[in-house]
Amino acid sequence: MLSRTARFSATRAFSSSAASAYKVAVLGAAGGIGQPLSLLLKENTDVTELSLYDLRGTPGVAADISHVNTKSVVKGYTPEQGGIDAALENADVVVIPAGVPRKPGMTRDDLFNTNASIVRDLAKAVGKNCPKALVAIIANPVNSTVPIVAEVFKNQGVYDPKRVFGVTTLDVVRASRFLAEVAGTNPADEKVTVVGGHSGHTIVPLLSQSNHPDLSADKYEALVHRIQFGGDEVVKAKDGAGSATLSMAFAGARFTSSLLKGLKGEKVTEPTFVESPLFKDEGIAFWSSPVTLGPNGVEKIHDNGKLSAKEEELIATAKADLVKNIKKGVDFVAQNP
Ligand SMILES: NC(=O)C1=CN([C@@H]2O[C@H](COP(=O)(O)OP(=O)(O)OC[C@H]3O[C@@H](n4cnc5c(N)ncnc54)[C@H](O)[C@@H]3O)[C@@H](O)[C@H]2O)C=CC1
Ligand SMILES: O=C([O-])CC(=O)C(=O)O
């Protein structure tokens, strides 16, 4: 297996235009999100090796995706075929959609009991095999799984807060789409910063900073609610068959692409749930706000910007939930290392 530097030079030697050579591993790659996410990553020209790991099914998914005529090499791994260590060896970016999704009537926090140990064990494998990788966590509840990964890495002595990300991009994608529906505009022209966390009231869209700061009170309340509970719409419509997978794959591919651009030295700024100084003195060690990505992961954490009085209220509510969600993740690893 070539080291990352060697892979860089190998690519450069064969193509003057190829500026990047990255191995991306997807853990949970045979699932509802994992499959379309892997397909979208096959289209990303920054990816030269796509490593697909799941408990089962990944050899088939990898064989299928590998026929797409882009340059990257795709390999499938299971615990029995190749194993997780080989799947993660020399990975530059690890994306984790492994874990169970919601059914109607459940909150994301109801997934904690199942997903906490899945994410903990996968984090241990990442810390062992590719401690320098950027790790993007999709598995819910993100507000707790991100602290779980951080605590596992601390226990292993490999934690770098610049390299651990909770993926909140779907909230940003939804906010743009839903605002455009209300305003009758093209979503491509609507950028909405979403801060806080990734569940219900912890999702705080900053519409006062958007192109439409003056929506009527009715429209504003309905839009904020739709952005905060957009996931529920999909869970309800899928009627027991899971939660958002295709839109999440879109969002996950977009975020992974931003991480890779950062690694290449391009400056990209995206909201993501990271260890953050913003409310640390209030016991909230993680917070999503716009983050500039760079060659080492987090380059700069931006503050929430200018807020309306209503947004100050939404943030206060978000903080109250987040304190509990974060503590739950930290306590889980302390009690179940
Ligand atoms: N961050 C976000 O915005 C979003 C997060 N999610 C979350 O993503 C997670 C995955 O959702 P879906 O793909 O719909 O679920 P899914 O059940 O279709 O797929 C999950 C995959 O994870 C695999 N898996 C389970 N344990 C594993 C382990 N130890 N190692 C490797 N693979 C393992 C399963 O075999 C399965 O293929 C859920 O927790 C869901 O709540 C879903 C949508 C949006
Ligand atoms: O709602 C869910 O459980 C899945 C999710 O996180 C989302 O769609 O935002």
| Contact 97 CB / ligand 1 (< 6 Å) | yes
Domain 169-331 belongs in CATH node 1.20.1440.230: no
What's the CA-to-centroid distance between 205 and ligand 2, angstroms? Answer: 16
Is 225 marked active-site? no
Top-tier CATH class for 4-168: alpha beta
Say if residue 210's pLDDT is above 60.
Answer: yes
Q: Please tell me the predicted confidence (pLDDT) of residue 3.
A: 45
Q: Is residue 226 part of an annotated ligand binding site?
A: no
| Contact 170 CB / ligand 1 (< 6 Å) | yes
* 109-144 per-position pLDDT tens digit: 999 999 999 999 999 999 999 999 999 999 999 999
Contact residues for 26 (Cβ-Cβ < 8 A; gap 6+): 34, 37, 38, 41, 50, 51, 52, 53, 94, 95, 97
Give the whole-angstrom CA distance, residue 149 versus residue 313.
30
| Contact 90 CB / ligand 1 (< 6 Å) | no
pTM: 0.95
ipTM value for the complex: 0.99
What's the CA-to-centroid distance between 86 and ligand 2, angstroms? Answer: 30
Q: Is residue 222 part of an annotated ligand binding site?
A: no
* Rounded mean pLDDT, 158-180: 98
Do the domains at 4-168 and 169-331 have one common CATH topology? no
Q: Is residue 29 part of an annotated ligand binding site?
A: yes
What's the CA-to-centroid distance between 243 and ligand 2, angstroms? Answer: 6
* 313-330 per-position pLDDT tens digit: 999 999 999 999 999 999
Q: Which amino acid is at 250?
A: F
Confidence of residue 10 (pLDDT cuts 50, 70, 90): very low
Domain ranges of the chain: 4-168, 169-331
